[in-house]
Amino acid sequence: MADIAFLLLIFWLVTTTIDSDEGVKRQLPPPVPPDMEQQEVKDGDVYNVRTNFRDELLVEKEVMSISQLKDGAKDFLVATGTGLLHPERPNVTLGDDNMKYPERQWVRKAELISLEQSYLAAGQPKAAARVREKLTAIELFGGDYKELPGSALISLQTDRSTSYDLYLQVQNELEAAVNELRDELSMAKFNVSYAALEERYSRTKEEALLDKIKSIRLVYPQRISEAEPRDASQGYY
């Protein structure tokens, strides 16, 4: 008996590998229609991350090491303060040249309610639902918050000769920045980490959990755009 079992055991040992389907998740942007118009974006609204063929990092026109990237991205995402946990930045001078961060705008409950009414009156239920989500967020947070402008995003441009490892590390650090901020907010408001919220929602599919997740995402959206890569070997420098 034991011999047969041993044989089977050894067979499985040899023929199998422990499954490891894990990694960094990404949603690629859908293909761009050729007639799409370019949007004007304020300089301060974009966090530029570039990598070159020597695996060096250029962030907002300054050389940076990968270990600093997460804090840099967090700074950018907090921007001028969320109105919830992070106080307003005192040292930011708003102006065309000095504006280093995107300017977060207040989302006011009173304004949203009238906005929702006008959308409903105009027969735009989808737009009204989006406003409703913001109202739910204000309710859950117990107060108004400030949202990032729609044009604020992190832009990542690689060179064709950048190593895949660096690319993934950059993606990973940018995601870590968002996740840490979300965790922080979730811990403060709901006394549970954001990762735990998501994990619990995937098991139970509870509506209340989804509302919390959506609210946190409204404050810290994950917006990473990947620009067309450069090609140093073709003499773009």
Partner 1 sequence: MSKFKKNNKRESGAISTASLPDIVFMLLFFFMVATVLRTEEEMVKVVRPEASEIYKIEKKHLIRYINIGPPQDKRYGTEPVIQLNDQFADVAQIRDWVENERLTLAEAEQTKMWVSMKVDQDTKMGVVTDVKQELRKASALKVLYSANSRERTN
Chain residues 85-114 in contact with partner 1, contact rule CB under 8 A: none
| Residue 67 interacting with partner 1 (CB under 8 A) | yes
The CA angle 73-79-85, to the nearest 5 degrees, is 100
Q: Please choose, from the candidates 137, 136, 132, 147, the residue with its C-alpha nearest in 3D space to the C-alpha of residue 79.
A: 147
User: Is the CB of 136 or the CB of 171 nearer to partner 1?
Assistant: 171
Radius of gyration of the chain from Cα atoms?
A: 23
Site string for partner 1, 156-195 (x = CB under 8 A): --xxxxxxxx-xxx-xx--xx--xx---------------
The least CB distance from residue 31 to partner 1, in Å, is 5
User: Is the CB of 13 or the CB of 63 nearer to partner 1?
Assistant: 13
Burial-class residue 159 by CB neighbours within 10 Å (0-12, 13-18, 19+).
buried
User: Is the CB of 131 or the CB of 209 nearer to partner 1?
Assistant: 209
Of positions 45, 57, 59, 70, contacts partner 1 by CB under 8 A: 70
CA 106/CA 84 separation, integer angstroms: 11
- Edge-first strand order for the sheet with 57-59 is 62-64, 57-59, 46-51, 153-157, 224-226
| Residue 31 interacting with partner 1 (CB under 8 A) | yes
The least CB distance from residue 160 to partner 1, in Å, is 4
Contact 82/101 with Cβ under 8 angstroms? no
The least CB distance from residue 42 to partner 1, in Å, is 27
Site string for partner 1, 190-229 (x = CB under 8 A): ------------x--------------------------x
Tokens of 127: 């737009």
- What residue type is assigned to position 14 of the chain? V
| Residue 121 interacting with partner 1 (CB under 8 A) | no
- Beta-strand relationship, 62-64 and 224-226: unpaired
**Binding residues vs partner 1 (CB under 8 A):** 1-2, 5-6, 8-9, 12-13, 15-31, 67, 70, 158-165, 167-169, 171-172, 175-176, 179-180, 202, 229, 231
